[in-house]
Amino acid sequence: MVGRSAKVTDDYPQLPFTFALTLRHMILKSMINKLSRRELIRESCITLAALSLPFPFKSGTAAVSTKNSNVNMIKPFSVDVPEQVLDDLRQRLKLTRWPLEFPGSGWNIGADLSYMKELTGYWADRFDWRNTEKQINAYPNFLAYINGIQIHFLHIKGKGKKSVPLLITHGWPGSFLEMMKLIPLLTEEKELSFDLVIPSLPGFGFSGMPIGPGCNSMFVADLWH
């Protein structure tokens, strides 16, 4: 992928931003109706073909920089968060100053305090970030500049005799981690599979931030095209 200077805009057809939401709907449908992997891929291809038709929309207006805007600036990336950063986060969580709560209020006037304490305790003491790093780095990760914004993405080639390029994106709030469970489902079919591109939205995960307001769904759709 890197050796041939993959072009983000040339290697992948223009897909509407709504395809990711449609795909998520199909995944839920497959869980409910117990569709096979082959049936899921077949429905995905049908939806992909339908949504590849021209799709008019008004673009967003987020400011972008022309600096480092060469889309061919793609380089491999691996996640390695310094231990001191993790230690600092754990310490901040443990130093949380909790508010008072009316007896028996539960979720009636906000988040349940006992639940929030349990959740914070999980992130501070039990969540294994290094294991998550290992899972992320098990797939090819890259950084690329698109319209002056640094974008992090996974690029996984399908194993099928025929593979269809497919970009799937998370929403906000959200993370590319939500999509990782889809990777084996969409790449390991022997006959027909997908070549996946899974980016992080600007300002999320390991992607850089946009330099101005207006980074809405239409702006991101333009960016992914």
- Cβ contacts of residue 175 below 8 Å, gap of 6+? 200, 204, 205
- Residue 25's Cβ-count burial label (10 Å; 0-12, 13-18, 19+) is exposed
- Cβ contacts of residue 66 below 8 Å, gap of 6+? 148
Question: 9 is written with which tokens?
Answer: 């805009």
- Residue 106's Cβ-count burial label (10 Å; 0-12, 13-18, 19+) is middle
Reading the chain (225 residues) residue by residue, the pLDDT tens digits are 333 333 333 333 334 344 444 455 455 445 545 556 555 555 554 444 433 433 333 334 444 443 444 445 889 999 999 999 999 999 999 999 999 888 888 898 889 999 999 999 999 999 999 999 999 999 999 999 988 899 999 999 999 999 999 999 998 888 999 999 999 999 999 999 999 999 999 999 999 988 788 888 888 888 888
Q: Which residue has the tokens 């194993």?
A: 159
